[in-house]
Amino acid sequence: MLQSTFSGPVASSKEIGQSHDDRLVLAAMLALTEMAAVAISTYLAFVAYHLTVWGGLPGTISYGWICTQLALMYGIICLADRQYDLHGAEWNRQALHRGVLALALAFVFLLALMFISGTVLSYSRGTFLAQLAIALPTQITIRALLLHAIEVGRKSGRWTSPGVVVLVFPDVEKPTVLLEQLSSTQDEIRQVYRLDSTNIWLQLQTILRDTRTHQCDAVLLLFHSHNMDAVTRAVDMLSEMPVRIQLLPVGMLNFMRCSRIGCFGHASVLESASGPDWVMDRFLKRSFDLFVAAAAGLLLMPLILMVAALIKLSSRGPVLFKQTRHGYNNKPITVLKFRTMVAGPASARQATRDDPRVTRIGRILRRTSIDELPQLFNVIRGDMSIVGPRPHAVWHNQMFEGQIARLSRRHNVKPGITGWAQVNGLRGETDTFEKMRARVEHDLYYIDNWSLGFDLKIVLMTILSKKSYENAY
């Protein structure tokens, strides 16, 4: 017997078409609003800079056309990245980060275009910096306001959010709890059908007829692997409707979190991958690492030299402490730190609170994380990243090997000077199973949700957040 629960309004076919058109118009308004904000803010930055510094506007180059080009490039990048797709993850998740990256790329493309056309020398560097300084906060503010306005409009019924019809195949337990865990504020479940194994095909015909009347953009199928034959036939039947058909094998949820559509030859495949795996992702992360490491190294070089001198003068032993730790793909790497303990074999043990081995200067260095600065050279050398799971000593990993599932998966990316676990207060001594497991869980979350914006967020939290300095001793 077919069981169903209903949680949304029934709409006519005309209303369904109108809802699709309304969302298309709304997405166009979002795009045009942001493009206008970029064009206006960059032009005002140009005017303010030249009037303040030079006392007049130049006539050598058309900054109005430049600002328009920048806004068009920004809009094209956002559209290509599906940032205005109201039922897509690109709008609902990390929307602020993706918008900032789109604007940064628009500036890069603009400079490249001007270089090719030979007009880049006429583009004032002061104007560029002023435009960047004003356009970025303007874009973030406009995007945040639009996100809020969209959510308010959805709750008040001014526009209809994408609707989902859910089909639950036999043997799937507690589907309501599962849907509550997975759905977001943008997902509205119009109806849930629980299929009976005795007559699935007749039930699917009924669902096909009923679903055409719902305000529905997608049909989600929840199933186990042994239902694949039935799922295949269901997809074939449901493909008669102009909706997205989504497949969710409930027994593979952990796998699905870090999977994506890839290809083998001419066939599309579901592949497990996480972290910066695409060539462009690796290029962006490596470029970010080199830029930050080189800039920080140059700016902090006086501090690095002063700390090295203090360590040398205050206690016997080398300035740097070198330790073999696990790096990418479990490869042993030599990690550099300022020596903060008295020299000797006992320094190989993990530091504890009020550890007598820590020197007076070392205590200050550890509390402020200055002892990690030599790892900038590890980053430049390519052994480490600015952001990633903190590298553990080989003996430390061996202590928990076999006790914590997927421990070695931390090494699917390069280790980092800072990481998601550290900015959430999970640094310092990990002498218990629970402490190590919490750190591993945060590291795996970072790997599965990596983005350049996420790296930037962690860097800022490392500098500004009090949690990043907790348990530092």
pLDDT in tens, 268-292: 887 776 678 777 788 889 999 999 9
Verify that 324 and 461 share a domain, yes or no: yes
Q: Say how far apart CA 133 and CA 127 lie, in whole Å.
A: 10
User: Which pLDDT score is estimated for 87?
Assistant: 60
Mode of pairing for the β-strands spanning 267-272 and 259-264: antiparallel
Query: In this structure, what are the phi and psi dihedrals at residue 385, rounded to the nearest 5 degrees?
Result: -115, 165
Choose the final residue of a domain: 156, 171, 206.
156
How many domains does the chain contain in total?
3
**b/e per residue 87-117 (b: at least 16 CB within 10 A):** beeebbebbebbbbbbbbebbebbeeebeee
* Closest by CA position to 8, among listed 152, 162, 158: 162
User: Which pLDDT score is estimated for 1?
Assistant: 44
User: Which pLDDT score is estimated for 12?
Assistant: 40
User: Which pLDDT score is estimated for 373?
Assistant: 93
Query: Residue 60 has which token pair?
Result: 């050598």
Q: Is 269 domain-assigned?
A: no
Rounded to two decimals, what is the model's pTM?
A: 0.62
Give the residue numbers spanning the domain of 60. Answer: 13-156
Verify that 141 and 173 share a domain, yes or no: no
Choose the final residue of a domain: 156, 189, 212.
156
Verify that 380 and 423 share a domain, yes or no: yes
* Tens digits of residue pLDDT in 53-91: 888 887 767 888 999 999 999 999 998 888 887 765 556
User: Cα–Cα distances in Å, from 87 out to 118, 158, 376, 448, 467?
Assistant: 42, 16, 41, 21, 34
Query: Residue 68 has which token pair?
Result: 């328009």
Q: What are the residue ranges in the chain where pLDDT is below 70?
A: 1-21, 60, 87-93, 157, 159-162, 183-187, 214-215, 273-274, 343-354, 402, 405, 429-431, 471-473
User: Quick one: how far is CA 198 from the chain centroid?
Assistant: 44
CATH number at residue 218: 3.40.50
Choose the final residue of a domain: 196, 223, 257.
257
Work out the number of other CB atoms within 10 angstroms of the CB of residue 176. 13
- DSSP three-state, residue 269: strand
